[in-house]
Amino acid sequence: MRLAQDGGGIVVNADSMQVYRDLRILTARPDEADEAAVPHRLYGFRPAGEPYSVAAWLADISRLIEAARAGGPPLVITGGTGLYFKALLEGLSPVPEIPEAVRLHWRSEAATLDSGALHGILRERDPEMAAKLAPSDPQRIVRALEVIEATGRSLLEWQAVAGKPLLAAGEAELLYVCPPRETLYARCDARLDRMVAAGVLDEVRALRELALDPSLPAMRALGVRPFLAFLDGVLGWQAALTEAKTETRQYAKRQLTWARSNMMSWKTALAQ
What CATH number does the domain containing 82 carry? Answer: 3.40.50.300
Range of the domain at 43: 2-93+163-175
3-class state of residue 96 by DSSP: coil
- What is the share, in percent, of the chain residues with pLDDT greater than 90? 75
Same-domain check for residues 69 and 201: no
Mean per-residue pLDDT, 24-39: 96
pLDDT given at position 218:
94
Does 147 reside within a domain? yes
Q: Could you give the dihedral angle defined by the CA atoms of residues 269, 57, 171 and 65, in that order, rounded to the nearest 10 degrees?
A: -130
Same-domain check for residues 75 and 169: yes
pLDDT given at position 138:
85
- Whether the pLDDT of residue 269 is over 90: the answer is no
Same-domain check for residues 55 and 76: yes
Mean per-residue pLDDT, 27-55: 95
- CATH number for the domain harbouring residue 246: 1.10.287.890
The Cβ of residue 155 has, within 10 Å, a number of other Cβ atoms equal to 23
Same-domain check for residues 167 and 38: yes
Q: How far is CA 105 from the centre of its chain?
A: 24
Q: How many domains does the chain have?
A: 3
Same-domain check for residues 126 and 76: no
pLDDT given at position 213:
86
CB of 148 within 8 A of CB of 209? Answer: no
Q: What band does 162 get if pLDDT is binned at 50, 70 and 90?
A: confident
- Whether the pLDDT of residue 186 is over 70: the answer is yes
Report d(CA 235, CA 227) in Å as an integer. 8
Same-domain check for residues 168 and 152: no
Could you tell me which residues come within 8 angstroms of residue 247 by beta carbon, excluding any fewer than 6 positions away? 222, 223, 225, 226
Enter the pTM of the model: 0.83
Question: Mean pLDDT of all residues in the chain?
Answer: 93
Task: Tell me the angle at which helices 200-209 and 224-231 cross, rounded to the nearest 10 degrees.
Answer: 80
CB of 182 within 8 A of CB of 269? Answer: no
- CATH number for the domain harbouring residue 110: 1.10.20.140
Same-domain check for residues 131 and 148: yes
The H or E element spanning position 94 is none
Same-domain check for residues 171 and 229: no
- Whether the pLDDT of residue 163 is over 80: the answer is yes
Mean per-residue pLDDT, 170-188: 92
Same-domain check for residues 85 and 116: no
More confident residue, 6 or 111: 6
Report d(CA 249, CA 112) in Å as an integer. 31
pLDDT given at position 140:
87
> Of 116, 142, 175, which one is at a domain's C-terminal end?
175
pLDDT given at position 271:
62
Q: What band does 96 get if pLDDT is binned at 50, 70 and 90?
A: confident
Does 85 reside within a domain? yes
Same-domain check for residues 205 and 241: yes
Same-domain check for residues 74 and 15: yes
pLDDT given at position 272:
56
Q: How far apart are the first and last CA of the chain?
A: 18
Same-domain check for residues 15 and 82: yes
